[in-house]
Amino acid sequence: MTWSTVDGVTVVTVTGEVDHHTSGALRQALTPADPDGGARTVADLSGVPFMDSSGINVLITAHQAHTGGGWLRLAGVRRPVLRTLEIVGLTPLLACYPSVRDALTG
């Protein structure tokens, strides 16, 4: 995982499978340091071919942690991961964009 900041937005680029072995690192990366500070985060999932339920739980927790006018947006979600998000009903809750650029301007 890598982090960068673009116009005050944290961009977390995730690569590889997200499962119970890697979900802890993802949780740490997507949890804002100040949850009441209006944190804005884009999770670039274009390099994630698979995500299990532990990754889904991380996304829910991270979404809930972005309060105070902040947000969590997903970018580049690949079809298998997007399908999982759709099945569990998260696509209305978590905004998905085709690219990081789209998520930043969304």
Topology adopted by domain 2-105: Transcription Regulator spoIIAA (3.30.750)
The pLDDT confidence band at residue 37, using thresholds 50, 70 and 90, is confident
Does the reported pTM lie above 0.85?
yes
**Beta carbons of 17 and 49 less than 8 angstroms apart:** yes
- pLDDT, tens only, 52-99: 999 999 999 999 999 888 999 999 999 999 999 999 999 999 999 999
What's the token pair of residue 98?
């085709």
What's the token pair of residue 75?
């970018």
- Domain extent listing, the chain: 2-105
